[in-house]
Amino acid sequence: MAAPVCRNARPVLPRWSALSTRFRGFSSRPARTPVRPVESADGTGGGLKAEDLAEKIRREKRDAAVEKKQQQQVPTSPLQERVRELKKLSGQLQQVHPNVLAKVLKQGLLFENENLIVVNKPYGVPMDGGPNVKNNIADILPTLAKMLGGMRAEPLHICHRLDKETTGAFVLAKSQGAAECIRKLLKTHQLERKYWAVTVGVPVPSEGVIDIPIVEKEIAGPQPHFKMALSPLYRLNEESDKMTRIRPAQGAQSAVTRYGVLSSTGNSALLEVQPVTGVKHQIRVHMAYGLGCQILGDHKYAHWNKLAPQKLPERMLQKLGLEQAKVRHLPLHLHLRQLILPGVEGQEEIRVICPLPKFFFGSLKKLKIKLPDKDKK
């Protein structure tokens, strides 16, 4: 009887070893060229194999690429390191999440009571939003209020303003009533603000009061722009050598600034400046155009008819470790150092001192400008 046939059974194949023996001389791949050792330079034949040499070349290329990248990232001189730090400073807080900025302000808390808080404003952060502005103080106030007072905290209120490039103490009120009270103190000149500024040049006289109105003007030319400018009430009469009162420019505002030199060396100085009034860019304009001593890093008021980086004396560049081409990265050295709020309704006077930014302190050190003895901390 014939054996049953299974229609689905697979045919029995010869073992792989048998196939490999049977077709040993055949391959669908191109024959591989045998690897020959690369002779050494002295012809002894003891060199590397070709594949080892290829791997060595690839490794050298990788190492060269890594080294080049490191050279681009890591400064090779004190000058490059200084420029890298300044570039990083100018944009670091504009790139972070708003919650991160709120945490930075919380960490910079200088004073707090039931009515107000005083915070250290970092460099490069504007008070309000605008075109191409990602982060600003006003937008993160709700988050900051919750960080300080819990989820049910009342919104905070801005009481006065600092320029985007200005650092230092600023007041936030915990209620609308407290905000109005502080603004009234400012308007009546009872809230004292003492700024510190590093100047290019040493003012003469070393202390005084600048009482020159300020007006906003449009500057024509290749780079049309607006600037605050002096609007003097008097001019010198060439015939009699006497001062003649003139009509104030339309829109001019009264501006009064007290100043005094705290320390100086060579062609730079540390000033304490007190604005009595509160006109836009008042200190910067009075320093640059009233005293003839620009604030270090003030590129807006470095030139009257154009927008260009500040021009620094060669000796000052050497001390700062900068080249003139890199001065554009230099930040404004204007810091609101101290706030003095008078006692209200029997309360004690409030004095808040704000520590100097790292870049400000570093510039003083490089310029060899000594801090007053009472402020060496």
Q: Name the residues annotated as catalytic.
A: 163
Output the six-digit token pair for 235.
């001019």
Residues 234-254: b if buried by 16+ CB within 10 A, e if exposed: eeeeeeeeeeeeeeebeebbe
With beta carbons less than 8 A apart as the criterion, state whether 356 and 333 touch: no
Residue 316 DSSP code: H
Cα-based torsion angle of the residue sequence 237, 240, 242, 248 in order, rounded to the nearest 10 degrees? -30
What is the token pair recorded at 216? Answer: 């906003």
Cα four-point dihedral sign 53, 59, 62, 63:
negative
Show the 3-state SS of 117-137.
Answer: EEEEECCCCCCCCCCCCCCCH
| DSSP-based three-state secondary structure for 335 | strand
Task: For residue 3, give the H/E element and its range.
Answer: none
Helix (H) or strand (E) holding 296: none
224/178 Cα distance (integer angstroms): 41
What is d(CA 287, CA 283) in angstroms, rounded to the nearest whole number?
A: 6
Q: What is the DSSP code (8-state) at residue 249?
A: P
The rounded distance, in Å, linking the Cα atoms of 315 and 321 is 10
What does the block give as tokens for 323? 């080249």
CA of residue 81 relative to chain centroid, distance: 15
Q: Which residues pair with 157 in a beta bridge?
A: 173
Closest by CA to 321, choosing from 311, 332, 330, 333, is 330
Cα 103 to Cα 143: distance, rounded to the nearest angstrom:
9
